[in-house]
Amino acid sequence: MIIEAHGLRKTFTTRRGRGKPEQVEAVRGVDLSVEAGHVFAVLGPNGAGKTTTIRMLATLIPPTAGTARVAGHDVAAEPAEVRRSIGYVGQGGGVDENAPGRAGLVLAGRLGGMTRRRAEERGEELLAAFNLTELAERPIRTLSGGQKRRFALAIGLVNRPPLLFLDEPTSGLDPQNRANLWEEVRSLRGQGTSVLLTTHYLEEADALCDRLVIIDHGLVVAEGAPEELKKQVAGDVVTLRLRHGDAGPARALLSAQPYVREVRAEEETLRVYLDDGEHGLPPLLRALEDGGLPIQSISLDRATLDDVFLRHTGRSLRDAD
């Protein structure tokens, strides 16, 4: 395992105005196991504890409690060794907005212990790899959001780390640049680099990661491969919108059907989980018709990671921020 963490906790002390100091538990006991060569996602809403967790693993802040080993080194006892083994790209990017991108790459290499010549050679390799050579002499502030993120990712890879941390790597990017960065992450995995990323984008975690954990209120509420987690919920989801007052009777009626695994209500909307939507949908519609419960709208979809989050927390991840 390139990451093994057990019982990680982080408590911050805050003060509101002139009031007494308050203890805030940002992370309340997180366990993580990440295999070498995998892309692993920490998925959850804003404020769930994702960034705090990754910052503890990267030795940027100390844990309040718990233990963690990263690339074989204890984060508390051997922080310098951990830092030599990782790259870290935070939400802010970590690039000097006023300096040219090439200079930033060389500086990162020098700080990592490279000779100037080797740092310059490595910088050119990364500029070519991320299609940034023509932009290398422009100040970072003049670049687009996607170009800045590519430079930040390149800086995180200067010292060829076996493990790369990416904190919300595509936040604020347009769809095209997001897709480009996804391809770069897949390329890193193909080269043997382990990647741990945090995200609140369901599609990102589903598309990129080998395994993931879902964190909510500082706790891990689910863990596994995306497909495994979705199969635990159901194969298909029927979303129904009914008349005011009909959701309760419809939920009771459908919960009693043998082809229905679970029914969840959200105001006048029902989410009905079926193992086989193609064959379960016709009898479901007949049951509602026989019960005098007309449908206002209906859709049939495959189960998603949002359904996993809903099952474990009682609310949708899309509505949790």
Q: Are residues 103 and 220 in the same domain?
A: yes
Q: Are residues 149 and 257 in the same domain?
A: no
Structural domain for 249, as ranges: 235-302
Q: Are residues 169 and 212 in the same domain?
A: yes
Beta bridge partners of 4: 33, 69
Q: CB count, 10 Å around CB of 117?
A: 9
* β-pairing verdict for 194-199 and 39-43: parallel
Q: How confident is the model at residue 321 (pLDDT cuts 50, 70, 90)?
A: low
* Long-range interactions of 242-250: CB distance < 8 A, separation 24+: 242/268, 242/269, 242/270, 242/293, 242/294, 242/295, 242/296, 243/268, 243/293, 243/294, 243/296, 244/268, 246/293, 246/294, 249/291, 249/293, 250/288, 250/291, 250/293
- Residue 25 sits in a domain of what CATH number? 3.40.50.300
Question: pLDDT value at position 160?
Answer: 81
DSSP per-residue string spanning 18-32: TS--EEEEEEEEEEE
Q: Is the pLDDT of residue 29 over 90?
A: yes
Tokens, residue 89:
């790209």
Provide the angle, in degrees to the nearest 10, between the axes of the packed helices 101-111 and 145-156.
20
Q: Are residues 216 and 252 in the same domain?
A: no
Q: Are residues 220 and 250 in the same domain?
A: no
* β-pairing verdict for 269-274 and 86-89: unpaired
Q: Are residues 223 and 272 in the same domain?
A: no
Q: Is the pLDDT of residue 308 over 60?
A: yes
156, part of any domain: yes
Q: Are residues 147 and 168 in the same domain?
A: yes
Last residue of a domain, one of 209, 229, 249: 229
Q: How confident is the model at residue 90 (pLDDT cuts 50, 70, 90)?
A: confident
H helices within the chain, ranges in order?
50-57, 79-84, 101-111, 116-129, 145-156, 175-190, 202-208, 226-233, 247-255, 277-290, 305-313
Q: 17 vs 11, 14, 21, 54, CA distance in Å? A: 19, 10, 10, 29
Question: pLDDT value at position 244?
Answer: 86
Dihedral, 59, 62, 63, 67 alpha carbons, nearest 10: 50
Average pLDDT of every residue of the chain: 88
Dump pLDDT digits (tens) for 190-216: 989 999 999 888 888 998 999 999 998
Residue 74: CB partners within 8 Å, gap ≥ 6? 67, 68, 82
Q: CB count, 10 Å around CB of 224?
A: 15
**Taking a C-beta distance cutoff of 8 angstroms, is the pair 83, 117 a contact?**
no
Domain count, the chain: 2
* Side-chain-side CA neighbours of residue 7 (13 Å): 4
Q: How confident is the model at residue 19 (pLDDT cuts 50, 70, 90)?
A: low
93-102, 124-133, 169-178, 288-297 — most confident range: 288-297
Of 71, 39, 68, nearest in space to 52 by CA: 68
- pTM attached to this predicted model: 0.81
Question: pLDDT value at position 93?
Answer: 66
Q: Are residues 160 and 273 in the same domain?
A: no
308, part of any domain: no
* β-pairing verdict for 260-266 and 269-274: antiparallel
**Taking a C-beta distance cutoff of 8 angstroms, is the pair 186, 209 a contact?**
no
314, part of any domain: no
Q: Are residues 24 and 115 in the same domain?
A: yes
313, part of any domain: no
Residue 281, SS3 per DSSP:
helix
**Taking a C-beta distance cutoff of 8 angstroms, is the pair 116, 110 a contact?**
yes
60, part of any domain: yes
Q: Are residues 153 and 191 in the same domain?
A: yes
30, part of any domain: yes
- Residue 241 sits in a domain of what CATH number? 3.30.70.100
| Dihedral sign from CA coordinates of 310, 315, 316, 318 | negative
Q: Is the pLDDT of residue 102 over 80?
A: yes
Q: Are residues 113 and 254 in the same domain?
A: no
Q: Are residues 58 and 168 in the same domain?
A: yes
**Taking a C-beta distance cutoff of 8 angstroms, is the pair 119, 155 a contact?**
no
Dump pLDDT digits (tens) for 167-183: 988 877 778 778 878 88
**Taking a C-beta distance cutoff of 8 angstroms, is the pair 237, 273 a contact?**
yes
Q: Is 290 exposed, middle or buried (0-12, 13-18, 19+ CB in 10 A)?
A: exposed
Tokens, residue 47:
């404020």
